[in-house]
A and B are shown apart, each in its own frame.
Chain A
Amino acid sequence: MLLQLNNIFKWVNSGGQRIFLLKDINLEVEEGEFISIMGPSGSGKSTLLNVIGMLDAFDEGEYNFLEESVHDLKEKHRANLYKEYIGFVFQSYHLLDELTVQENLEMPLIYKKFKGSERKAMVADMLDRFSIVGKKDLFPAQLSGGQQQLVGIARALISNPKLILADEPTGNLNSKQGEEIMELFKQLNEEGVTIIQVTHSEKNAEYGSRIINLLDGRMI
């Protein structure tokens, strides 16, 4: 088992009232799964993704990731855990504007303390795999949305994560670009990467092996 959420609650207090963002979430994810999280705006999809990605804390419940109890871990260990095993893909790509494609790919490797020669090899490998060698010296602003997201995914994959978390990865793309990205995810999943995506689109959700529906923070 890759991860397990038991009775996860997350809330904020507003005007004396407790507003639940996540309510009693129970979820088990096996390695190699491709899960789509769906639900209307404000249903807690992104929050759930952030909790899984350990970017956000929760108020109650247990979270086990690869036999580690995330809820008991200190901030630093938690950061090490997600650094090693999780890659993130965002709706608006979140590439750094002042870095080239190549440098954007290299950035997470620097933080993971890879050596210069290793980094070079890994970046070259990734550029090759995604067929973007010719674009390596361009800046994000010089790429189309689909190409930017391609770089975003390549960046998420570069340090071989077990899990990819994608928050509406096709939200800013046209349908053709979106399709290409989803095909890519499918292919990655077949190669053994676990993927959890948040999406609005039924069609994109179909790519997954399992669909989770959220409404007002609750799984239905």
Chain B
Amino acid sequence: MIKKYLITTFRHLRRKRLFTALNIFGLAIGISVCWVIYRIVSYEYSYDKNLVQKEKIYRVVSGFVFDEKESYNGGASKPLYQGIREQMDGLEHVVPVFENTFRSVEVDNPPGSPLRFDDQKGVAAIDSAYFNFLEYRWLSGTKSSFLDNPNSVVLTEDRAKQYFPDQAPNEILDRTITYYSYRDTITRTVAGVVANLPQPTEFNSQEFVPLPYIAYDLNIWTNTNGSDRLYLQLDEASNPAIIAEQVDDIIQRKTREWRDQSENTFNFKRWIELLPLGESHFATHIRESNIRKASKPVLYGLMGIALFLLVLACINYINMSVAGIPQRTKEIGVRKTLGSNKKQLITQFFLETLVTTVLAGILSLVLTKLVFWLLKDIIPEGITPFANILEYIGFLLLLSILVAILAGLYPGWLITRVNAINVFRSTSLQTKGSKGFNLQKALIVFQFVIALVFITSALIIGKQLQYSIKSDMGFNKDAVVLVQVPYRYVFEDKYDGKQFPLLEELKTISGIQNVSLGAAPLSEGYASSAYEYSEEGKPAISRQVFKKWVDTSYVNLYNLKVLAGRNLHESDTPTEYVINETAVKAFGFASPQEALGKFIGQKDEKLPIVGVVNDFHMRDFYESIDPMAFQMEKSNLTNFNIKLTSNTDQWQNTLSEIEQKWYRFYPPESFSYTFYDESIEQMYKQERQLATLVNLATFVSIFISCLGLFGLAVLTAFQRTKEIGIRKVMGASVEGIVRLLSKEYIVLVIIALVFASPIAWFAMDKWLEKFAYRIQIEWWMFLLAGVAAITIALLTVGYQAIKAAIANPVKSLRTE
């Protein structure tokens, strides 16, 4: 019986090639996107999922209020772990993980010369608690040999392979590695190799060194560094809220103690929070560079996109099946008269749906790879399209059944309602309600609502991105190339001060219009301090001021306008400030002129203001412009700003000239340049990823919707052949018929626009809210989206409409 069903199903699908293809293609796209998103979401939620007692583990993070601005730091003061151990109960483990960075690492490699690795990350100082807390498998060496020797190091398997290629964990023991930091050099002996923890995990350190017990000074309690992480595993009975309170209490006590001792009046507030380990991966409000974060709203967005696209594909299937029923009434009628019951008809139909979905699943094997390639910038490393083929098959089966139910139920039900007698009446095969607003049309409207929301969002996100990157930032960034002296050379005596003779050399290159040393106006890194201004008889005004170290040609190079006073004068150490307009207002000066000659700065090191420049953006468009002070300090000038001449053809030559000069002062591997406008674009990585995602969603949703629309147009044109014939005989022109057939779809798109616009407006308004500088949402954006959708819809149905309109009416009106 099943075999019979299958054979008829395949024959049917083959006969309706076009619709089968449209259905399979639409579903395959939906399934592929769903699968890829499922892979991403399940990856992000699988962080440290194997950890026993994960729900008892918390991370200690610090919150701050500076200048009435709240911020979070993923670290805790170094001595805090000692305080907790000494003063608190109810904790299973107190685990400090203090990450260190090294300028370079040298691995002994007899008989050859040592292997050198620069800027190594993932070296953590830990104590005995760490290996009790996390269960590592020791491939060689022991925990005790590691802890007994203060100059030992334990490597993970991955790191061991990097340092000692082709050597077994046993052979590596007692080999030496030398770590060069900015301050000292330590040679360590390998005490063991451990297997990597199951991925993905937040505990991603690759090298472990013993954390010595240090009796910290009181002032260290006030330092918080994001790389000093602290984890707590609570006892069964402990209440996290109470533990958090107790930890906070320790910090507050120490802060008070320190305040009493020192004379610093700098006002800040700090508190401690316990972050559940499960939340740590999603804590995007804590900026960290060592740990990958995932944003929950983004994941929810992704899941929403997956769901919507799948629903779109299902809608296509429903629409095409429903629209196809009139053509199948004869088949159904014959089946019914020959004794088929409802159940058998529905089984037949479900089987069709299931076969279609399974075929779509097979096609999506290919499409998934395509989607992975399209989203390669967004998909986190470590996710492969098909890690486990069984999982894919399971996913596919589940989805097929879901789709079969979702997409097959309604048409299946309709099929059973076909009245056998009506089928054999030759007159009037037209479906009822082709004029009214039926389910098919409602579904098409729904599809276009989704497509339009995506189109509008893509438009607005694109516009905001362009605005963030292209709009006037208060300085001229055109043709500027940045070259950074690598951080590791800055403090090396050998290279001390080399940037100045290099600067002179660069000035001689003809392709360079201007060159300046100093931090780029808009950059990710920044430094700020609280500066004070005190007028006699009034309380001092204290403001957080961004410090920028620049030289004298900087203002000129970036086309900054000096509104009052003068540019900085050359000097080795700060002697004066040039501030921006915002700083003028922040300190309460009536005008830029008024600010000249006033002294601001940290206590006891106040300097005069000698000039005021226009406001310019120092950070991305999420942040408003803050008070800023230019100052000159030669030792802080490590970044070359090079303005090229406007002759773009020459740029390549100029760049290679710069490179040649560079090599006379710095080692070869140290040269790399970025065009400033490109590096500003890089700052909006997340937004560009969002744009990529929304663009893809837009494309896919339009594409799927159009597949459905196309199918429906084909069927409608078929159903209306008689009507079209009559109208033509009565004198309708081809244009008239095309208009008649297309009008309906345009009305549907317009209805969709009415629904989509407020949704898109609401979502985009929420998104834009986060930007301090943002575009206005304007009515023409919705109009443009609508026009785009209508154009696409017209192109889709136009061919069918024209084909139907130019057909010879004699054929369609022939009476059988």
Alpha-carbon distance A185/B244, docked complex (angstroms): 100
Selected from B726, B813, B815, the residue in CB contact (under 8 A) with A96 is B726
Interface string of B716-760 (1 = CB under 8 A from A): 000000110111011111001000000000000000000000000
The answer to whether A83 and B731 touch across the interface, beta carbons within 8 angstroms, is: yes
Q: Does A4 contact B (CB under 8 A)?
A: no
Instruction: Mark A91-112 against chain B: 1 for CB-CB distance below 8 A, else 0.
Output: 1101111100000000110011
Q: For chain A residues 15-74, which have a beta carbon within 8 Å of chain B?
A: 46, 50, 55-56
Q: Are A97 and B733 closer than 8 Å at their CB atoms?
A: no
Cβ B813 vs Cβ A90 within 8 A: yes
Residues of A within 8 A of B723 (CB): 96
Write the B545-560 contact mask toward A (1 if CB under 8 angstroms, else 0).
0000000000000000
The reply on B809 being an interface residue by CB < 8 A is yes
Chain B neighbourhood of A50, CB < 8 A: 810
A residues near B722, Cβ cutoff 8 Å: 94
- Closest B residue by C-beta to A57: B808
Check if A90 sits within 8 Å of B731, measured CB to CB.
Answer: no
**Contact A55–B729 (Cβ < 8 Å):** yes
- Known A-B contacts A97-B430, A98-B435; the reply to A111 vs B813 at CB < 8 A is no
Given A55-B808, A97-B430, A98-B434, A88-B729 contact (CB < 8 Å): yes
> B730 touches which one: A56, A97, A108, A141 (CB < 8 A)?
A108
A79 at interface, CB cutoff 8 A: yes
List A contacts of B732 (CB < 8 A). Answer: 111
B731 CB contact (under 8 Å) in A79, A94, A98, A168 = A79
A91 and chain B: residue at smallest CB distance: B815
A143 to chain B, nearest CB (A): 13
Q: Contacts of A94 on B, CB cut-off 8 Å?
A: 722, 725-726, 729, 813
Beyond A55-B810, A97-B428, whether A90 also contacts B730 by CB under 8 A is: no
Q: Nearest chain-B residue to A83 (Cβ)?
A: B731
Partner of A112, one of B435, B725, B731: B731
State A97–B726 Cα separation when bound (angstroms).
11
Asked, given contacts A79-B731, A107-B727, whether A55 binds B809 with beta carbons under 8 Å apart, the answer is yes
User: Which of these, A46, A90, A97, A111, contacts B727 with CB under 8 Å?
Assistant: A111
- State whether A56 touches B808 (Cβ < 8 A): yes
CB distance from A86 to the nearest CB of B (A): 9
The reply on A119 being an interface residue by CB < 8 A is: no
B427 at the interface (CB under 8 A from A): yes
Q: A55-B810, A96-B726, A98-B434 known; 9 other A-B pairs, CB under 8 Å?
A: A50-B810, A55-B808, A88-B729, A90-B813, A94-B722, A94-B726, A108-B730, A111-B736, A155-B730
Q: By DSSP majority rule, is chain A's interface helix, strand, loop, or mixed? A: loop
Query: Are A108 and B731 in touch, CB under 8 angstroms?
Result: yes
Q: Which of A169-191 contact B (CB under 8 A)?
A: 171
The reply to whether A141 and B428 contact each other, CB–CB distance below 8 Å, is: yes
Min CB–CB distance A24 → chain B (angstroms): 21
Q: When chains A and B are docked, how far (Å) is the Cα of A107 from the Cα of B435?
A: 16
A217 to B435 CA separation, bound complex (whole angstroms): 42
Chain A nearest CB, measured from B729 CB (Å): 5
CA distance A97 to B727 in the complex (A): 12
| Complex contacts, A46 vs chain B, CB 8 Å | 814
Are B815 and A90 closer than 8 Å at their CB atoms? Answer: yes
Q: In the complex, A98→B740 CA distance in Å?
A: 14
Residue from B426, B727, B729, B809 whose CB has the most chain A CB atoms within 10 Å? B729
Q: Which residues from chain B contact A55 at a C-beta distance below 8 Å?
A: 729, 808-810
Taking CB atoms and an 8 Å cut-off, the chain B residues in 406-447 that contact chain A are 426-428, 430, 434-435
A8 to B722, CA, bound (A): 28
Q: Max chain A CB contacts within 10 Å: which of B434, B722, B726, B730?
A: B730
Q: Which residues of A contact B810 (CB under 8 A)?
A: 50, 55-56
A111 interface neighbour in B427, B730, B814, Cβ under 8 Å: B730
Tell me which residues across on chain B come within 8 A of A141, comparing CB atoms: 428
Show 13 A/B contacts (Cβ-Cβ < 8 Å), sorted by A: A46-B814, A56-B810, A79-B733, A91-B815, A94-B726, A95-B726, A98-B430, A108-B731, A111-B727, A111-B730, A111-B731, A112-B731, A141-B428
Q: Which of B792-816 contact A (CB under 8 A)?
A: 808-810, 813-815
A134-158 interface with B by 8 A CB criterion? 141, 155
Give the CA-CA distance A155 to B730 in the complex, in Å. 9
Complex Cα gap A50–B723 (Å): 18
Closest to A80 in B: B731
Within residues 143 to 174 of chain B, which ones have a CB less than 8 A from any CB in chain A?
A: none
- B185 to chain A minimum Cβ distance, whole angstroms, is 90
CB distance from A52 to the nearest CB of B (A): 12
Q: Chain B: which residue is nearest A165 at the CB level?
A: B729
Q: Which residues of B sit under 8 angstroms from A167, Cβ to Cβ?
A: 815
Expressed in whole angstroms, the minimum distance between the Cβ of A104 and any Cβ of chain B is: 9
- B contact residues around A96 at 8 Å (CB): 723, 726-727
A155 to B430, CA, bound (A): 21
Which residues of chain B from 592 to 649 have any CB-CB distance to chain A below 8 Å in the complex?
none
Complex: how many Å from CA A50 to CA B815? 13
Which 5 A/B pairs are nearest by Cβ-Cβ distance? A111-B731, A83-B731, A108-B730, A94-B726, A55-B810
Closest chain B CB from A181 CB (angstroms): 16
Contact of A92 (CB < 8 Å), options: B430, B730, B731, B815 = B815
Query: Given the complex of chains A and B, what is the CA–CA distance between A107 and B430 in angstroms?
Result: 19
Give A10 Cβ to nearest chain B Cβ, in Å.
Answer: 12
In whole Å, how far is B717's beta carbon from the nearest beta carbon of chain A? 16
**Alpha-carbon distance A50/B812, docked complex (angstroms):** 13
CB of B720 to closest CB in A, whole Å: 10
Q: Is the CB of B427 within 8 A of A92?
A: yes
